Amino acid sequence: MRRITVPVAGREYPLLIGSGILDTLGEQLREVGVRGTLALVQDSEVAEQYGRAALASLEQAGYRATPFVVPSGEGSKCLSQLGALYEGFAQAGLDRGSAVVALGGGVVGDLAGFAAASYLRGIDFVQAPTTLLAQVDASVGGKTGIDLPQGKNLVGAFHQPRLVLIDLDTLASLPDREYRAGLAEVIKYGVIADPEFFAYLESNREALESHQPETLAAVISRSCEIKAEVVGADERESGLRAILNYGHTVGHAVEAVAGYGTYLHGECVAVGMVAAGRLAHRLGLLDTEARERIERLIAAYGLPVQVREPLDMDALTAAMQLDKKTRDGVVRFVLAREIGRVEVRPIPEEEARQALQSVLPH
């Protein structure tokens, strides 16, 4: 089992990565000092596959845990599901010494995490991510939240978990499309921080696509290490942490305008990285070879380099204005200067529209 430490203000917490470790969930909670009653929040598909094992582990460790099940899909990151969790927590008797355990993908982690951040003004939270995207991104760093009809993650809070437990075996049941969507966030880490890691992804594609255990463990570990380093330096996204949004300015806009569920989050991030690469190239920041390498790697992993159907340009532009990096009405993009080095810069609306246009069907 691999262990990575995430440093945050005043404390740190562990990321545990290994095969078959979901059965140790209760034991690991005891190790990090979680002591109260628990809420186990899962989506309907995950509950069917892993819910009993997780609940049994918690109960064997002496916890009283109440399971909660939300519908699968992005639509559950909403006010109504958040309200249902609040009411369920109250009925289950959760108090200030209780904790919320999120078992599932990024939707469950974001929703359950925000519920934990806000119920009784904040109770403990544990992540047990079961999708690749959640394991390398959503579960690490303490971002929690829900969507509004106007855009993704517009309501939320920073609430760091006490523990992140990543069981690689849960990826065996993940549909291929969702697995590939998670690889978009993996590719992102290579572009923003580590050219050697990017090259490793280029040369180990077959092993990664076939879920070769050693390769998968190495890739997830390195992705988590990069995110832990960034979060440790900038927990609340006042500066450096914005680089983790590479590909997300256009990606979130596409996701919202196309309608949540039309594309997976990782697919939108892939399209957004292509748009950002083309914008950086047009501005003279990124050379042709690097831009082509990024696009080639995205395509090689079976991820989209443009959206399938036309989308309204004005709606996309309006959605980009809601991006968290926007300041005084000016959209800011994370742009690569080379593979492994990026910067955040304001982009005029016409340039932003050209970036969008570059990934729309002609």
In the set 45, 74, 225, 237, the catalytic residue is 237
In the set 227, 291, 293, 332, the catalytic residue is 227
245 is a catalytic site residue: yes
362 is a catalytic site residue: no
In the set 162, 248, 278, 291, the catalytic residue is 248
In the set 152, 188, 241, 291, the catalytic residue is 241
188 is a catalytic site residue: no
In the set 45, 153, 159, 185, the catalytic residue is 185
In the set 11, 87, 121, 309, the catalytic residue is 121
In the set 245, 281, 291, 332, the catalytic residue is 245
How far is it, in rounded angstroms, from Cα 317 to Cα 328?
15
Q: How far is CA 89 from CA 54, 241, 316, in A?
A: 19, 32, 37
211 is a catalytic site residue: no
227 is a catalytic site residue: yes
In the set 159, 162, 188, 252, the catalytic residue is 252
252 is a catalytic site residue: yes
In the set 143, 152, 162, 281, the catalytic residue is 143
Q: Which residues are catalytic?
A: 121, 143, 185, 227, 237, 241, 245, 248, 252, 265
